[in-house]
């Protein structure tokens, strides 16, 4: 039996966790000790022992993680169909399904989910409406106001207290921020919009409801949660509400990797759970199956926390020490990373087994240019993503206004894509259209700037030809027709984006329920750019660029950790509080523990004053404070030569299958 095979590889502590009965189980263990693997094996074991798949709920942090675990469990238990019937996904995705199912009970006509970018658009709209958008208004940025809103609900803390803690300089404006956020909540209600936090709030309310809650509890016998260290208060309450006595509950996590405190997660959730359930079993896993010992020695050294828990490698081979690469500046860093990636590639580590990790998406600006110039294919996860996916989101916005004409943010987005419609007119027109949909097309066109009228009339007439009752493929086709000219006019690099738009249009046209599909894209945007547009073909090879946050739970043979400078990592935004600094240290630890065989840490000696301004003045930059003396003693130090010979080597990735040979010549 396949499960037997899976169990055979597990060590005794892992086995104990997999075979554990139905009393509450907490697996608290360090990075790479096999927590996720244990969870997967446990699911497979449950299925094998005859538990019906629909009685299992598996919660993860990304959709990628959920689908990877489910397909692995399926192959372990030898019944692919069974694993597909397991309820699994991110907290938000599952919340969405449950909320949609109980929309009536919640007093919602339908469920339209808005993503974080829509949230800032909507808050911007409201700022303008209330005259809070001028430069003389000293309010926090819109993004910060959105963060405040999120913190308020995720930590159950009043607006004023959150501002006091996070934005003390804006305390005088606390009342204005609070008022703005009340408008925000009211507008979401009027327009039938739910943000990601609202989904969790609604799910929690359903769990707390006497009737619905009882039905939800009866639905699943087994609730399993990965990366529990990063749940926030709402998620804790949902989990506890689903399993008041902890029967069938399994959670796994590592407090040293808690990296979402800024979102309301607080370290210590794992231990709280043990206190909450007196009969809980705590399993600790000791052996690390991922990395070589020299990598773990460094990770152990920087590992935060008072108790120095040491990770010990199970892998027999020693492996080299992590490398500390000192570079001259950001450009030199980019060139050096590219050189070392190509060198590793020649040595047999394909691009897909390598990743460049960074604290913040903007750090890779120079590197991305360098990779493009050299023809090294890559995909970027996490971070800005906005430029990469905004055309996809434009198409989604067109679906959304057809499905819910009151969706003011989506109207706004589409309107700003028209030439000659500025932000101010887009706001006015969005309000008109959100009130009456395309029935008010004539009013909107009349109110539009003269130059924009023909274009707008054409968009609205194309969108007006379909509505929520139209068959999905036809609806998608009409929206494409309306959006295509806007995209062509708006994006200079339109050609590059065509495939992604095509991909999402095809995926959308194949849906029976377009509304759910659209909401799911708001919930897990990685997927928009990820699954269909970024799935590598079998003979294709590409490098991963990722923020550390998006690299959680993943691993690569070779990890290149860039920009390990004070101010970048730890981020200078976190330096004001000790809690912020501790979180940065956990992030650093997460980054180091992603590496299996080799780990390179890059430290430029000079950096531009602004990360994305290429010609900005360079100033001296210090190595990260986390690279302490004892930490450096565990690394191999190298420096780039004073001048890297130019021009740099250009890779021949256009022909993936022969590129290894091509490199031999280049590196001879």
The reply to whether 567 sits in an annotated binding site is no
Site string for ligand ATP, 226-265 (x = CB under 6 A): ----------------------------x--x--------
In the bound complex, what is the minimum distance in angstroms from residue 40's beta carbon to ligand ATP?
8
Site for ligand ATP in 105-134 (CB under 6 A): none
In the bound complex, what is the minimum distance in angstroms from residue 84's beta carbon to ligand ATP?
22
Closest CA to 328 of 641, 537, 68, 1: 641
In the bound complex, what is the minimum distance in angstroms from residue 91's beta carbon to ligand ATP?
17
Instruction: Please confirm whether the linkage preceding 305 is cis (ω < 30° from 0).
Output: no
Site string for ligand ATP, 18-57 (x = CB under 6 A): -------------xxxxxxx--------------------
**Residue 72 binds to ligand ATP (criterion: CB under 6 A):** no
Q: Which residues, in sequence order, are bridge partners of residue 571?
A: 567, 568
**Residue length of the chain:** 668
Q: Which is nearer to ligand ATP, 32 or 361 (CB)?
A: 32
Task: Supply 51's token pair.
Answer: 């538990």
Site string for Mg ion, 567-606 (x = CB under 5 A): ----------------------------------------
The reply to whether 642 sits in an annotated binding site is no
- d(C-alpha 591, C-alpha 497), whole Å: 31
Residues 6+ apart with CB under 8 A from 161: none
b (16+ CB within 10 A) / e for 497-529: beebbebbbebbbebeebbebbbbbbbbbbbbb
Which ranges of 417-465 does DSSP label H, i.e. alpha helix? Answer: 423-436, 441-447, 453-464
Neighbours of 42 (CB within 10 A): 24
Q: Which is nearer to ligand ATP, 336 or 550 (CB)?
A: 550
Stretch in the footprint of ligand ATP (CB under 6 A) among 4-12, 370-378, 470-478, 543-551: 4-12
Task: Supply 438's token pair.
Answer: 């395309």
In the bound complex, what is the minimum distance in angstroms from residue 35's beta carbon to Mg ion?
5
Q: What does the DSSP 8-state code read for residue 627?
A: S
Strands (E), 76-180: 87-90, 112-113
Strand order across the beta sheet in which 543-547 lies:
378-381, 543-547, 354-358, 556-561, 595-604, 323-327, 636-639
Q: Which does 361 bind (CB under 5 to 8 A by kind): ligand ATP, Mg ion, none?
A: none
Stretch in the footprint of ligand ATP (CB under 6 A) among 5-13, 135-143, 379-387, 597-605: 5-13
**Residue 289 binds to ligand ATP (criterion: CB under 6 A):** yes
The reply to whether 21 sits in an annotated binding site is no
The reply to whether 36 sits in an annotated binding site is yes
Q: Which residues, in sequence order, are bridge partners of residue 355?
A: 544, 559
**Residue 385 binds to Mg ion (criterion: CB under 5 A):** no
Instruction: Give the CA dihedral 338, 344, 348, 351, nearest 10 degrees.
Output: -40
Site string for Mg ion, 36-65 (x = CB under 5 A): x-----------------------------
In the bound complex, what is the minimum distance in angstroms from residue 283's beta carbon to Mg ion?
15
**Residue 549 binds to ligand ATP (criterion: CB under 6 A):** no
Task: Supply 491's token pair.
Answer: 């994006």
The reply to whether 107 sits in an annotated binding site is no
Q: What does the DSSP 8-state code read for residue 623?
A: B
In the bound complex, what is the minimum distance in angstroms from residue 464's beta carbon to ligand ATP?
49
**Residue 553 binds to ligand ATP (criterion: CB under 6 A):** yes
In the bound complex, what is the minimum distance in angstroms from residue 663's beta carbon to Mg ion?
33
Strands (E), 366-509: 378-381
**Residue 425 binds to Mg ion (criterion: CB under 5 A):** no
Instruction: Identify whether the C-beta of residue 364 lies closer than 8 Å to the C-beta of residue 543.
Output: no
The reply to whether 141 sits in an annotated binding site is no
In the bound complex, what is the minimum distance in angstroms from residue 593's beta carbon to ligand ATP?
6
Closest CA to 371 of 339, 328, 329, 330: 339
Task: Supply 626's token pair.
Answer: 């986390």
Q: Which residues, in sequence order, are bridge partners of residue 581?
A: none
**Residue 300 binds to ligand ATP (criterion: CB under 6 A):** no
Provide the annotated binding site: 29-36
**Which segments are annotated as binding site for ATP?**
29-36
Interface ranges with Mg ion (CB under 5 A): 35-36, 553
Q: Could you list the residues that contact ligand ATP (CB under 6 A)?
A: 9-11, 14, 31-37, 254, 257, 289-290, 553, 555, 593
């Amino acid at each position: 039996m396949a499960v037997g095979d899976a169990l055979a590889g597990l060590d005794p502590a892992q086995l104990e966790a997999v075979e554990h009965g139905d009393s509450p189980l907490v697996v608290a263990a360090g990075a790479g000790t096999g927590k996720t693997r244990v969870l997967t094996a446990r699911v497979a074991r449950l299925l094998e022992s005859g538990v019906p798949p629909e009685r299992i709920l598996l919660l993860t942090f990304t959709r990628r993680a959920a689908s990877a675990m489910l397909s692995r469990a399926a192959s372990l238990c030898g019944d692919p169909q069974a694993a597909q019937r397991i309820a699994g996904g991110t907290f938000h995705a599952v919340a969405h399904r449950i909320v949609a199912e109980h929309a009536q009970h919640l007093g919602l006509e339908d469920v339209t989910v808005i993503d974080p970018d829509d949230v800032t658009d909507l808050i911007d709209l409201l700022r303008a409406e209330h005259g809070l958008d001028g430069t003389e208004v000293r309010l926090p940025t819109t993004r910060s106001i959105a963060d405040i809103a999120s913190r308020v609900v995720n930590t159950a803390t009043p607006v004023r207290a959150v501002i006091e803690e996070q934005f003390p300089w804006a305390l005088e404006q606390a009342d204005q921020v609070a008022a703005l956020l009340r408008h925000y909540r009211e507008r979401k209600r009027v327009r039938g919009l739910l943000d990601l936090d609202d989904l969790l709030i609604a799910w929690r309310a359903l769990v707390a409801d006497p009737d619905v809650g009882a039905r939800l509890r009866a639905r699943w016998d087994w609730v399993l949660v990965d990366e529990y260290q990063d749940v926030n208060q709402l998620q804790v309450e949902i989990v506890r509400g689903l399993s008041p006595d902890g029967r069938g509950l399994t959670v796994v996590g590592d407090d040293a990797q808690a990296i979402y405190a800024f979102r309301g997660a607080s370290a210590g959730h794992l231990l709280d759970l043990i206190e909450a359930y007196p009969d809980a079993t705590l399993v600790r896993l000791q052996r690390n199956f991922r990395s070589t010992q020299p990598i773990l020695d460094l990770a152990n050294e920087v590992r935060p926390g008072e108790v120095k828990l040491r990770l010990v490698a199970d892998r027999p081979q020693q492996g080299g020490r992590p490398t500390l690469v000192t570079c001259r500046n950001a450009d030199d860093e980019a060139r050096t990373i590219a050189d070392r990636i190509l060198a590793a590639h020649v040595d047999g580590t394909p691009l897909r087994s390598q990743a460049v990790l960074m604290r913040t998406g903007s750090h890779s600006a120079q590197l991305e240019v360098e990779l493009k110039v050299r023809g090294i294919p890559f995909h970027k996860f996490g971070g800005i993503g906005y430029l990469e996916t905004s055309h996809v989101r434009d198409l989604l916005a067109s679906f959304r206004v057809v499905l819910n004409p009151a969706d003011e943010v989506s109207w706004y987005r589409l309107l700003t894509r028209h030439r000659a419609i500025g932000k101010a007119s887009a706001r006015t027109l969005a309000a008109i259209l959100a009130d009456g949909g395309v029935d008010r097309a004539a009013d909107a066109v009349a109110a539009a700037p003269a130059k924009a009228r023909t274009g707008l009339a054409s968009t609205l007439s194309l969108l007006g030809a379909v509505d929520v009752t139209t068959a999905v493929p036809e609806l998608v086709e009409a929206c494409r027709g309306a959006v295509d000219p806007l995209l062509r006019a708006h994006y200079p690099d339109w050609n590059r984006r065509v495939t992604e738009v095509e991909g999402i249009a095809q995926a959308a046209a194949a849906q029976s329920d377009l509304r759910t599909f659209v909401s799911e894209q708001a919930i897990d945007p990685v997927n928009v750019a990820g699954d269909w547009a970024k799935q590598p073909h079998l003979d294709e090879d590409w490098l991963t660029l990722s923020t550390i946050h998006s690299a959680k739970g993943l691993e690569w043979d070779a990890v290149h950790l860039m920009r390990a400078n004070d101010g970048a990592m730890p981020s200078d935004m976190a330096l004001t509080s000790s809690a912020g600094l501790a979180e940065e240290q956990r992030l650093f630890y997460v980054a180091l523990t992603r590496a299996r065989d080799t780990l390179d840490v890059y430290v430029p000696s000079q950096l531009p004053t602004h990360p994305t301004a290429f010609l900005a003045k360079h100033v001296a930059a210090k190595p990260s404070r986390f690279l302490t003396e004892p930490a450096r003693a565990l690394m191999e130090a190298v420096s780039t030569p004073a001048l890297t010979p130019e021009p740099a080597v250009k890779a021949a990735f256009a022909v993936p299958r022969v590129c290894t040979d091509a490199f031999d010549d280049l590196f001879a």
